[in-house]
């Protein structure tokens, strides 16, 4: 499930904080602070989408992300590759290599790092 920009902004804050109240989240905004009620509404939506849960302490609700940033990122990336590159990671890498003018050295480094990661995963399966 994809999050709206506002929902993702709240999730980014929760992933950093691990947990917090509406007031704690509000403090993390530098400028253009949303209304307290807006944050509370977005948190309620995120709870309905099963991204967030809360517990009550006194008169405050403490919110916590129940979907990890890694899990959400993976789903978004796989969806992106599927929708824009017909499910082909090599097409995506080729596209970004062309668009960002990666040098041969940079491509070699990327391949080397990928090989090392895959080899490490093969020797240490979860």
Residue ranges in the chain whose pLDDT is less than 50: none
Strand segments, DSSP code E, in 4-96 are 19-20, 52-57, 60-65
Q: Are residues 83 and 52 in the same domain?
A: no
- pLDDT score at 49: 96
Same domain, 76 and 118: yes
CB 22 within 8 A of CB 43: yes
pLDDT of residue 125: 65
The CATH number assigned to the domain holding 27 equals: 1.10.10.10
User: At which of 65, 84, 109 does a domain end?
Assistant: 65
How many structural domains does the chain have?
2
**Same domain (yes/no): 96, 52:** no
Which whole-number Å values give the CA distances from 99 to 84, 91, 104, in the listed order?
A: 15, 12, 14
Print the domain residue range for 103.
69-123
In contact, 10 and 29? CB cutoff 8 Å:
no
Output the pLDDT for position 7: 95
Q: pTM for the full model? A: 0.74
């Amino acid at each position: 499930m994809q999050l709206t920009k506002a929902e993702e902004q709240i999730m980014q804050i929760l992933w950093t904080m691990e947990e917090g109240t509406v007031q704690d989240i509000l403090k993390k905004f530098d400028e253009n602070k949303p209304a307290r009620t807006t944050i509370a509404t977005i948190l309620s939506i995120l709870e309905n989408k099963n991204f967030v849960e809360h517990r009550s302490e006194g008169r405050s609700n403490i919110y916590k992300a129940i979907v990890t940033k890694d899990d959400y990122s993976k789903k978004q990336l796989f969806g992106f590759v599927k929708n824009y590159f017909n499910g082909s990671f090599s097409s995506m890498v080729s596209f970004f290599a062309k668009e960002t003018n990666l040098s041969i050295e940079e491509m070699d480094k990327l391949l080397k790092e990928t090989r090392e990661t895959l080899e490490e995963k093969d020797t240490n399966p979860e």
